[in-house]
Amino acid sequence: MNNDGTYQWPPQNPGAPKPKISMKNFGKSLMIAALILILAAGALSCFYTVDDKQQAVVTTFGAVTDITDAGVHFKLPFGIQHVEKVDVNVYQKIELGYSSASGNSSTSESTMITGDYNIVNVDFFVEYKISDPVAYLYSSNDPELILKNLIQSQVRNVVGSSTVDSVLTDGKENIQMQVKDLVAQILSEYNIGLTLVDVKIQDSEPPTQEVIEAFKAVETAKQKAETVVNDAKAYQNAQLPSAQAKADALIQNAEYLKQKRINEAIEQVAMFTAMYEEYFKNPEITKSRMYYEAIEEILPDVKLYINTSSGSDDVQMLLPLESLVDSNNGGN
């Protein structure tokens, strides 16, 4: 051992015992090793990775200071900055009245009363996504539970104002739209960081088998009615071209008769105009001609003889002349 309290190795005296290591130096080495480990851990904790489906909320001493997207980022170590990753680009779901994972149903969630005081079981499937990671993390303790309770409340509200027929048959789409609009409006007021994507009625049915069978019979009757209506429309579509063709033919024939009557009227007017002009030139001759034509038209079987002599007394006329003509032909 030297005078300064340290050991020398190898010793000058080979036979001397092995000296002990100084506790002071050992403590320093241990502190240096611990410091190196702390610095290494701090350096490793300075970096974090965010994937493409996430956003990260960075807090500094508990206050939100940054929101980072996908990639590798730096943060201050030793708890100065804390990072919370949130799945923002992922559609998530809430099932009401049933569980697809376990196959169980929950009547407490699905049993509802309609506006006409009937009981129905309605299962809903809801899709949502995180729209604001800061509001999602710090505006409420359990935003999913709030969304679930809100959807249940609005579903019961809409179903309670609808008839049982619309809930079980053709009113499902309208109910879904009403629920979605109401929930979206309330979510915008609460600002819990969630956005409703879609609302679907998974299933709706009466609570008893007898009522189920009755509604199935009603649905079958409606389908038959739709089939009859579709058949009637098909028959209508098949008959329309033929009926249209007949209508076109009748219209064309009517147009033809119309034009024919117009042409005949024009012809008669022209004939009357021509006759009037002749009458104006020779009234007596025209009157005689019109008289003879009228007699010929009225009495078609009567033979008409016109005496064109001057009316002298030495000419005698014997009527009827047909008897004389026939007797002379018989004498020959």
**Does residue 253 sit in helix, strand or coil?**
helix
* Closest by CA position to 68, among listed 134, 128, 139, 130: 134
pLDDT tens for each residue of 167-189: 888 889 999 999 999 999 999 88
Amino acid at 258: K
pLDDT tens for each residue of 102-152: 878 888 888 898 988 888 889 988 999 999 999 999 988 899 999 999 999
Q: Using CA atoms, how far apart are residues 227 and 233, in angstroms rounded to an integer?
A: 10
- DSSP-derived letter for residue 50 is E
Q: Residue 284 is encoded by which pair of tokens?
A: 């007596």
pLDDT tens for each residue of 204-257: 887 666 766 776 787 788 889 999 999 999 988 888 888 888 999 999 999 999
Indicate yes or no: pTM above 0.75. Answer: no
pLDDT of residue 108: 85
For 92-207, CATH gives: 3.30.479.30
- Per-domain residue ranges of the chain: 23-87, 92-207
* Closest by CA position to 166, among listed 212, 230, 106, 115: 115
